[in-house]
Amino acid sequence: MILTYLEAIRQGLWEEMERDPNVFLLGEDIGVYGGAFKVTEGFLERFGERRVVDTPISESAIVGAAIGASLLGLRPVAEMQFSDFITCAYDQIVNFAAKCRYRWGAAVPIVVRAPSGGGIHGGPFHSQNPEALFTHTPGLKILAPATARDAKGLIKAAIRDNDPVLFFEHKALYRRIKEEVPEGDYTVPIGKAAFVRPGRDISVITYGSMVHAALEAAEQLDREGVSLEILDLRTLQPLDDAAIFASVRKTSKVIVLHEATRSGGVGGEVASRITEHCFEDLDGPVVRIAAPDCPVPFSPPLEEAFLPNAAKIAEKARWLAAY
């Protein structure tokens, strides 16, 4: 069936709630209103107010309640209305959810949904990509799907996982991406990257919305005789080192691409692993493409200048191809 990215997430949540009565949702405006982006529209009517819980505007309380419920055997899915506000729950996620298994062997099967990313002219408080804040924390699994198929399969895998999972879903993809999604029950494995486009000259290692920007750049460069291979990480913690290294060893040139700001980002970690393990396979420097180190602008022209796009990727790829 053909689904949008949003509908794929919605179906994944619905199916898991039908499958397992211990799964429940909590968050701001997810019940009566159906969610800020309408992902949970109709859930309250189907599953009732005990399983679709409208909460106060307190991200710390939302995640804290989810952790407590998970320790009692439930499988909560907590929504941050915008990923920017996940920092209000940073202490609960990093110092409690991530460490319970290490401290005393307790599973914390929670999922924190975090609508993230720019391209919607939401300004500096509704457009951030804060995933790198959490990839540094052992005990968390971090997902960032780029496609409708992966969005559904990964949200189902996240709900079934016995450890805390942060699920970053890109707002600009919600209704923009539409594709064939398998019918019936399926999951996408956590920790496995996906080769979305084979290529011979340059590997582009990326995730989320930038997968689509890379595909657009690849189409342009094909006409110029430069072939890009695109690897969608899908999982940011743990990273799929085997897939990353295999692609780099195949092409010998690599671009690491993400929408989040440059310094301290996921791209730096990927680049470091490549230079540590694949240095002798490289025929050029590891190139990073990311947003500059400033808040996301509200002005549409400034936001366009701020965000990586196909033209910027193609420009860097031409330089690297000629290196």
CA pair distance 37, 176, nearest whole angstrom: 13
CA pair distance 288, 53, nearest whole angstrom: 41
**56 phi and psi, to 5 degrees?**
-65, 165
* 170 counts as catalytic: no
By DSSP bridging, strand 2-4 and strand 178-180 are antiparallel
**310 phi and psi, to 5 degrees?**
-60, -40
Dig out the tokens for 168 from the structure. 């970053």
Residue in the structure block whose two tokens are 């694949």:
278
Residue in the structure block whose two tokens are 């407590």:
68
Task: Please report which residue ranges of the chain form alpha helices under DSSP H.
Answer: 5-19, 43-47, 59-71, 90-92, 100-104, 132-135, 148-160, 210-222, 241-251, 266-278, 300-306, 310-321
By DSSP bridging, strand 235-237 and strand 141-143 are antiparallel
Give Cα separations from 286 to 224, 251, 268, 272 (angstroms): 22, 12, 10, 9
CB 229 within 8 A of CB 255: no
Torsion 28-31-32-35 (CA) sign: positive
In the set 126, 170, 212, 258, the catalytic residue is 126
The catalytic site residues sit at 126
